[in-house]
Structure 1
Amino acid sequence: MKLVALLFSLSIFVVHTSYANTPKVQVSKGHIEVIDNIESQFVKNRFLNVWLPPGYSKNTTYDVLYMHDGRMLFDANSTWNKQEWRVDEVAGSLIEQGKVRPFIVVGIPNAVENRHSEYYPQQPFEALSKQKQNALYQLEKYPGHKLFASKVYSDNYSRFLVKEVIPYIESNYNVNKGAQHRYIGGSSMGGLISWYTLLNYPNEFSGAICMSTHWPGIFSHDDEVFAEFQNYIANNIAKLSNQKVYFDYGDSTLDAMYPKLQAQIDDLFMAQQYPAKLWQSQYFPGEDHTENAWAKRLHIPLEFMFRKTKQAAAE
């Protein structure tokens, strides 16, 4: 019943018509700039929330974290469930304390009713039999509303990030250019699209943050679905060299589905002998599938990705 209630609450977000518009966002630390309309040849046009850290200066250059579900990151007053990741507070405090090198955050909003189609890894989906794909396309979040509102198109979403969003940010903000200064992150389905985009574009990012990664892909356990995620990672992990990968998970509400699945992903990384210093998988007993839970531990992946090198700290 708890899972059903959670899925129902998620459905409220999907049909909330106000999310067709750009929400007004206020932050406690730093500054938000809203880019109203990024035109795209790959996905529907959308806005961006660009968070600039405390002390942002045109005389300094910054690394960049690109985050999915961009409406949920900064201001609980503008979100459907009155929760937020508190990105501005967490990242701003880490920067002010000198624990990480300065970076900006680009929040990319999801496609609302097409969120599942946009974030579900496309090549693992297409590796399924046509019969299985058709069966998944018939799934409903709740009566009358399909889980996949359109065909899966996450490859185009990744292209949108790499070919349109990144060039825009690097042309209009004082950021360090190049893959070694770019990171990608999200939670749940945003966790799936983060590792998937990293594997598809290993030369474009330096790391991926995947919190409460939604390894089931759908909202019930399906061995066939999960096996294709495993196969894709196993077949593509060799593309990575020095990229960092962060996974975590709780065990309450929707996160209750993750511990056994994440353990198999961890086994895969170990079997591939991916360097231990480059990846983490952290378990948070009792934590649920909410923005409040992710906010409490967001400092961990941010420090993992952006911690200062000894040379930078000395300077």
Structure 2
Amino acid sequence: MTIKIKQYLILIPCLLMVALSCKRQSTVITFELDMRPAIAEGWFTPDEDQVGLRGDQQPLSWSETCMANATNTYGIYSLKMPFSIVGDSLELSYKIKTEGAGHPEEGWQTGHNHRLVLYKGQQQTVKLSWNTQAPEPSSSITGHVDILRQFDSGALASRDIFIYLPPGYHHSNLHYDVLYMHDGQNLFDATSIGQEWGLDEAAEDMITSGKIAPLIIVGIGNTSNRIDEYTPTRQHWSYTFIKADGNNNEVAGHYQTDTGEELQVKKQSDTLWVIIPGSDEWQSLEAQSDTSYYLPRAGIRFTFQQDKQGSTIHANKPPMGGQGPIYEAFILKQLKPYIDSTYRTNPSAEHTSLGGSSLGGLISLYTGLRHPETFQNLLILSPSLWWDGKMMFDWVNTIEPSSHQRIWLYIGGAEGEEAVSNVRAMKQLLIDKGWQLQYKEAEHEQHNETAWKKQAANILHFVAGNNQEQ
């Protein structure tokens, strides 16, 4: 079987999302991208390479590039993007991304993310050059935050620790409850990624107004080993898919493993697209040869074969993850003892909470359920339950619930059908097993810090207030 695929990408799903958005509303931003600096440097070739945008608000995403079109001016590209705005405005974070071989930084524009506030009914043109750097965000820390740089993490890489202390801490002898959160550099300050959860502002307001009891918030900074540290098992991703429908001479169609995992393949404009197990979105493949393809986002290699038995696809990626127990031990044996000995804390489980989002939500659920003697309250936002064949479901079924442990579980309705379905299933499993659980599903919210920031008041109420949503 021979399949000839062009190396450039034409991202049809992005274009479909744009078309649908155009029908819903009229907030349209036209981006003009100047790639002449990259052309002059010699690594971007208009005849071979493409350029577009990625961002955190639909129809943009951080996982797929919405491609721009070349204009009549050499090296200038244009992309018209319609955005749905539920309220009066929407904050967009975005960056230029190129697609092609040998591009610096894997095609990502360097520096901080660009930011833009969009308003309902707005029509605007934004001009952006490849070598334009977004301004350095100023520190947005509110209140008192101690920062411990390069904290010794034992067997793991050193990391920064961010410790929010409540108003009045230095003028009292009180002891305080503690909330531990992963991805700590994103909690209080926007200078790291251009976005933050705003837990410091929310805590300052709610403590001073008497809505919650004063508490300490410990942000555990992540490292370049985030995926390994935030996952409880070593994922060995390898499947053999057999064509289950259609003409075996056509690569497009529906494939299955002998255990029921499904792979969908389609061909659009000379590019192959797949939906892999555990996902519900189409992703484009890069051709490595006539029968070998690569999925950059997931690091998966696909090999297509055809014989008398039909069409077969072998898919695999290098093993990854599995340092979650080591990361857990760091928190329990190094970080928490340090915090309890250095700051005035209430160290018992009933006064200690643990939380995070995405993979941080996954490791919070795993670590928290394993150690109810340490963490009474668990804050699980948008957890990556797809990890390692949804291993968390089988694992949760093997453990007994703690009578005193409380869980706050959240998912954004716009995070994808598979993600929402997984969290709903985990909600029901936890309830059926006997855990105390509060559940929040935010209809229009996506998988990003902007969405999680909107839950700051609910998070703090759950661990330090009357548990009622704001």
TM-score, scaled relative to structure 2? 0.54
1:55 paired residue number: 168
Q: Alpha-carbon deviation of 1:180?
A: 1.7
Q: Which amino acid aligns with 1:50?
A: I
Q: 1:178 to 1:29 in 2, by over 3 A?
A: same
Equivalents in 2 of 1:184, 1:255: separation in Å? 25
Bigger CA drift: 91-100 or 157-166?
91-100
Alignment of 1:1-315 (within 5 A): 1=14, 5-7=61-63, 26-57=139-170, 58-76=172-190, 78-80=191-193, 82-112=194-224, 114-122=225-233, 125=234, 140-141=296-297, 151-217=321-387, 225-226=389-390, 228-236=391-399, 238-252=400-414, 254-274=415-435, 278-307=436-465
Count of matched residue pairs:
283
Q: Which amino acid aligns with 1:85?
A: W
Q: 1:115 to 1:61 in 2, by over 3 A?
A: same
Q: Alpha-carbon deviation of 1:150?
A: 5.1
* SS of residue matched to 1:7: coil
Q: Give the conservation status (yes or no) of the 8 Å contact 2:183–2:221.
A: yes
Q: 1:231 to 1:72 in 2, by over 3 A?
A: same
What RMSD, in angstroms, separates the aligned Cα atoms of the two structures?
Answer: 3.5
Q: Give the conservation status (yes or no) of the 8 Å contact 2:232–2:321.
A: no
Equivalents in 1 of 2:220, 2:298: separation in Å? 26
Give per-residue Cα distances to partners, 1:42-84, cap 9 Å, x unaligned.
Answer: 31122211111222234111111111001111111x122x111
Q: 1:18 to 1:160 in 2, by over 3 A?
A: farther
Q: Alpha-carbon deviation of 1:26?
A: 3.9
Question: Runs of 5+ in structure 2 lacking a partner?
Answer: 1-13, 15-57, 65-93, 98-104, 113-135, 240-276, 278-293, 301-315
Of structures 1 and 2, the larger Rg is shown by 2
Q: Alpha-carbon deviation of 1:153?
A: 0.5
Q: Give the conservation status (yes or no) of the 8 Å contact 2:401–2:434.
A: no
* SS of residue matched to 1:107: strand
Q: Give the conservation status (yes or no) of the 8 Å contact 1:54–1:92.
A: yes
Q: Alpha-carbon deviation of 1:164?
A: 0.5
Greater relative CO (CA pairs within 8 A, separation 6+): 1
Q: Alpha-carbon deviation of 1:97?
A: 1.8
Q: Alpha-carbon deviation of 1:29?
A: 3.2
Give per-residue Cα distances to partners, 1:209-235, cap 9 Å, x unaligned.
Answer: 011112222xxxxxx712x21111121
Equivalents in 2 of 1:198, 1:53: separation in Å? 24
Equivalents in 1 of 2:459, 2:344: separation in Å? 23
Q: Alpha-carbon deviation of 1:174?
A: 1.1
Give per-residue Cα distances to partners, 1:234-269, cap 9 Å, x unaligned.
Answer: 212x142211111111122x4543221111112212
Q: Which amino acid aligns with 1:52?
A: L
Sequence identity percentage: 30
Q: Alpha-carbon deviation of 1:306?
A: 1.4
Q: Which amino acid aligns with 1:6?
A: W
Give per-residue Cα distances to partners, 1:150-190, cap 9 Å, x unaligned.
Answer: 54211000101111000010111111122221111111111
Q: Which amino acid aligns with 2:153?
A: S
Q: Alpha-carbon deviation of 1:141?
A: 2.7
TM-score, scaled relative to structure 1? 0.78
Q: 1:59 to 1:150 in 2, by over 3 A?
A: same
Equivalents in 2 of 1:178, 1:234: separation in Å? 27
Q: Which amino acid aligns with 1:197?
A: T
Q: Give the conservation status (yes or no) of the 8 Å contact 1:116–1:147.
A: no
Q: 1:47 to 1:282 in 2, by over 3 A?
A: same
Q: Which amino acid aligns with 1:291?
A: E
Question: Runs of 5+ in structure 1 lacking a partner?
Answer: 218-223, 310-315
Equivalents in 2 of 1:37, 1:111: separation in Å? 10
Q: Which amino acid aligns with 1:179?
A: A
Q: 1:251 to 1:27 in 2, by over 3 A?
A: same
Point out the structure with the larger helix share: 1
Equivalents in 2 of 1:267, 1:107: separation in Å? 29
Q: Alpha-carbon deviation of 1:118?
A: 1.0
